Amino acid sequence: MAVRPSSDMAKFKEALKAAKQVVILSGAGISAESGIPTFRGAGGFWRKYQSSALATPEAFRESPSLVWEFYHYRREVAAKAQPNAGHLAIANFEKKYGNEKTITVITQNVDGLHARAGTKNLIELHGNLYKTRCTKCKEVLVNTDSPICEALANRGAPDAKVIGSDIPVKSLPHCKKCGGLLRPHIVWFGEGLDPNVLENAERAMSKCDICLVVGTSSVVYPAAMFAPQAAARGATVAEFNLETTPATPDFHYYFEGPCGTTLPEALSD
């Protein structure tokens, strides 16, 4: 396309009303409005560490205690956060129109806020902070305990003067079934997405006749390909973001501003 995207809200709402297959693709921007720190930009540090450097299999192998402190901190922050008006607008839209349209929310976020807002048909591309995976038997379980283990109580504060972690590995979360060390059920940098999750997301994207791109930088693959590919095959794509992204020129609509402001208007009657 590569033409200037429209910001005609009335025209977008007509297209949304006519659509039968709707996909809402969300990223860190929508959760940032609920106070969840993002990996990118100025908020990308925890203690002296770049957050993305701790979200790797290598970091977990080298210091599982440090990585668990980081994820304990993230779990506690997300648990205190509340779904914002953007999350609620999406959930309410699904509730209202879910019988007459197929509405799929595909999120890159791991904080669980979409589900807490009430979204049902949800694909979590990168996992969930409140799920664990055993490094030995691979069992995935929901775990909302706070703290997830006693050794992590009152740990994980983002104090730049704290270096490393002295928690013994035996005191970290372990599998009740086989005794293996648990890890967060998160897709880390350098890891591939779960093939079933990716297949479900690609199926929804291939069928949608309209796609809303919400609060995502459109630079993390494979999710960054989803909306441009949908636009290329003729689906209507609308971006809701604080600022334009490299993919914006490929889209039909662009609505600038906080998702908590633009989405309630876009998804209302």
**Would the annotation count 194 as a binding residue?**
no
Nearest to 40 by CA among 215, 256, 160: 215
Give CA–CA dist 224/219, Å, rounded: 5
Pairing of strands 182-186, 140-142: unpaired
Q: Please tell me whether 112 is known to bind a ligand.
A: no
| 241 annotated as a binding-site residue | yes
- Is 237 flagged in the annotation as binding? no
Find out whether 178 is annotated in a ligand binding site.
yes
Is 36 labeled as ligand-binding? Answer: yes
Task: Find out whether 215 is annotated in a ligand binding site.
Answer: yes
Residue 219 is labelled as binding a ligand:
no
The pair of structure tokens assigned to 227 is 């909306």
Pairwise CA distance, residues 249 & 154, whole Å: 46
Q: Is 76 annotated as a binding residue?
A: no
**Residue 259 annotated as binding?**
yes
Q: Confirm whether residue 71 is marked as ligand binding.
A: yes
SS (H, E, C) the chain: CCCCCECCHHHHHHHHHHCCEEEEEECHHHHHCCCCCCCCHHHCEECCEEHHHHCCHHHHHHCHHHHHHHHHHHHHHHHHCCCCHHHHHHHHHHHHHCCCCEEEEEECCCCCHHHHHCCCCEEECCEEEEEEEECCCCCEEECCCCCCCHHHCCCCCCCCCCCCCCCCHHHCCECCCCCCEEEEEECCCCCCCCHHHHHHHHHHHHHCCEEEEECCCCCCCCHHHHHHHHHHCCCEEEEEECCCCCCHHHCCEEEECCHHHHHHHHCCC
Residue 88 CA, chain-centre distance (Å), reads 15
Residue 45 assigned as binding residue? yes
- Tell me whether residue 126 is one of the annotated catalytic residues: yes
Residue 199 annotated as binding? no
74 labeled binding residue: yes
On whether 70 is known to bind a ligand per the annotation, the reply is no
Q: Which of 72, 87, 114, 126 is the catalytic position?
A: 126
Known binding-site residues for substrate equal 71, 74
Annotated binding site for Zn(2+): 134, 137, 175, 178
Residue numbers in the known binding site for NAD(+) are: 27-46, 108-111, 215-217, 241-243, 259
Provide the annotated binding site: 27-46, 71, 74, 108-111, 134, 137, 175, 178, 215-217, 241-243, 259
Catalytic (active-site) positions: 126
